[in-house]
Structure 1
């Protein structure tokens, strides 16, 4: 008989994972859940297998707040290969066209202002967006192309890091939903030679950057030495992605009523918007939202075991 499976444990927190190349975001989540022996987990938006870098993973009750990290701004370093366009906009696709590259850094600097600020992007066919219930990438693999509506995104910062031959390195800071592949293709078109993404590394997601990220090698080494308990110190608090939100301190009485679904009045609360909630001991218990009559209403609360 096979040995009984150990019970997964309830553990809450956020791990900033440095996702390696070639791994899907879901595979990264399942690997981290296994290493932590966590009963529940979720990621904060997919990072392509061909991209590496910052992928915040939420365990336990922290998954209730993953949406707010999904909505956060992102930062990337990308290498664009000039002179070659591909079916997917990255190195995985088939070559569509090759052109000679006679581009200087000054040429690049001259076109970048067109792609800075509020811009419109047409999502690529090789994306997870859905058309009539089907992901676009599945239709693309079947040879189909469908019309996609342009979407507004904001490129907050776009910087040239270097140009060597046909290899252009860029740093991009942008709002959620920005397709770096599309950005690189559009820059290549503006330069007259075409381009595709040959490397992509996410360096920031919301308040988290690579300085907080933990590699798979580190996780596996700690796990080999001390099991899943040896990893717990790497978890950030469940509200670590919400640190720029205003905080409301509750009394024992207001925490009780709020935990039972009632809006409460707390002196000194903001006039409007979402807030982080802490109970009388200072423990984070969830998020609330200010009502029109200046009360704090529960929006998403932590569930504590025991």
Structure 2
């Protein structure tokens, strides 16, 4: 008897905007969501450390093709810097490496904010996913190595004090791709002469998603099984197959449409005939008085459904990435 092949997941597509809890890694979260939806494909847009909570956008199915557009979106974090200690990981996970009895006043902290607003140079933490000679920096750091990570340019649009206490300050930041909030805490602590590390970190927005899109694990489990914690006793591996018919309508309703990730691109409405041609990889003429003549990137939709991402050249849409109908 031949070996039974592993069942494929469902071809479900869309974005799940997870409110990730503290203690769960991003990869673990993706596996959990993939299993709950029994999806064939899943991926996330922007890693969150296990000690961080908040928005982790997870793409299912065809939405994985739009991950780069969400990764490039602006992000908003609310975070607490504990003053007095610098730690090896720049957060609560690692041991203290430097300490000080000095504590900054709110005036001291506020005076520092302009230095960390706008386009700045930032050195990522030793414990980060940056690759050094083909290896992840955090792997080298765990082996006791101190690596030279070059500074890189990041953009911080807004940095505000929410609350200041005797030994901590709560901030809110709006920043671009590649910004490390842990590095910000480390560098501000050094500038203030008191050292500092992240004691709490929550991501509250990833453009184009907002807090209104948040879905918790409890809500997902309730939608999938009837109430939180009612999942079957077997292992919740992402590729486990379901042998009995399951009603996914309640959990599928929690997804955000794939096209939401492409709000940043010009939108072009096309006919069904044009959609068929585009899905076969063929260019089509864009008609309509308001249709763009040129665009490096645009997305084509038919009856409100995403068809393709492509370029518009001389009034013709040329598909680059096609989505299933």
| Interval containing the TM-score (normalised by the shorter chain) | over 0.9
* Counterpart residue number, 2:305: 283
Aligned-pair CA distance for 1:263? 2.0
Cα deviation code 1:250-270 (max 9, x no counterpart): 123322322221222213225
Q: Is the 8 A contact 1:37 1:228 kept in 2?
A: no
Q: Which stretch of structure 1 is more off in the superposition, 263-272 or 138-147?
A: 263-272
1:128 aligned counterpart, secondary structure:
coil
Provide the C-alpha distance between the structure 2 equivalents of 1:43 and 1:191, rounded to a whole number of angstroms.
36
Unaligned runs of 5+ in 1: none
Unaligned runs of 5+ in 2: 227-245
Cα deviation code 1:149-208 (max 9, x no counterpart): 211011100000011111110001000100000011111111110100011000111111
Q: Does 1:294 align with 2:315?
A: yes
Q: Is the 8 A contact 2:124 2:151 kept in 1?
A: yes
2:257 aligned counterpart, secondary structure:
coil
With over 3 angstroms needed to count, the CA separation of the structure-2 counterparts of 1:256 and 1:5, relative to structure 1, is closer
With over 3 angstroms needed to count, the CA separation of the structure-2 counterparts of 1:4 and 1:276, relative to structure 1, is closer
2:258 aligned counterpart, secondary structure:
coil
Q: Among 247, 253, 256, which residue is 2:273 paired with?
A: 253
Q: Which stretch of structure 1 is more off in the superposition, 245-254 or 15-24?
A: 245-254
* Counterpart residue number, 1:147: 148
Q: Does 1:274 align with 2:297?
A: yes
Which structure 2 residues correspond to residues 1-306 of structure 1 after superposition, within 5 A?
8-225=9-226, 228-267=248-287, 268-279=291-302, 281-291=303-313, 293-304=314-325
Count, aligned residues: 300
- Runs of 4+ in structure 1 off by over 6 angstroms are 3-6
Q: Which stretch of structure 1 is more off in the superposition, 219-228 or 162-171?
A: 219-228
Q: State the TM-score, normalized to the length of structure 2.
A: 0.88
Aligned-pair CA distance for 1:227? 5.4
Q: State the TM-score, normalized to the length of structure 1.
A: 0.93
CA RMSD of aligned residues (A): 1.8
Provide the C-alpha distance between the structure 1 equivalents of 2:279 and 2:114, rounded to a whole number of angstroms.
50
Cα deviation code 1:24-69 (max 9, x no counterpart): 1111011111111112111112111111100111111111111111
